[in-house]
Amino acid sequence: MSGTYEIQPLDGFVISIVVLFVGMTLTRKIKILSKYNIPPAVTGGLICSVLVAVISLVQMREMTLFVMRGVFKVMGKDYDAAQVPPTFDLGRFTRRIGAVRT
């Protein structure tokens, strides 16, 4: 499970154009952004960075669940039967695993 993605130059160009258009649309529709002269590139970039952060959190969760299943398998227990609920504390952007009840 590699966490590295390679984006080709043309793909990066297309993504940047889409991000710019999203920023232009949001800046036009949200009056406070245009009132304080927030550039569309900043608005679109902020939305893009939040989207990338959410995708990273989801991938981190999947990777952690994969590792936890392996740990439980080594211990001779079934991961699903152990009822370990993974939770996110998004206020602090930290990852926690619930306590195991046996």
Per-residue pLDDT tens over the stretch 64-101: 777 667 666 666 666 555 555 555 444 444 444 444 44
Cα–Cα distance for residue pair 13/16, rounded to 1 Å: 5
Cα–Cα distance for residue pair 93/97, rounded to 1 Å: 13
Predicted confidence at residue 64, as pLDDT, reads 72
pLDDT at 43 over 80: yes
Q: Which residues of 43-71 are buried (b: 16+ CB within 10 A; e: fewer)?
A: bbbeebeeeeeeeeeeeeeeeeeeebeee
Predicted confidence at residue 52, as pLDDT, reads 85
- The residues with which 95 forms a beta bridge, in sequence order, are 88
Say which residue, 53 or 60, is predicted with more confidence.
53
Strand ranges (DSSP E) for 1-102? 86-89, 94-97
What's the predicted TM-score (pTM) here?
0.58
Cβ–Cβ < 8 Å for 19, 40: no
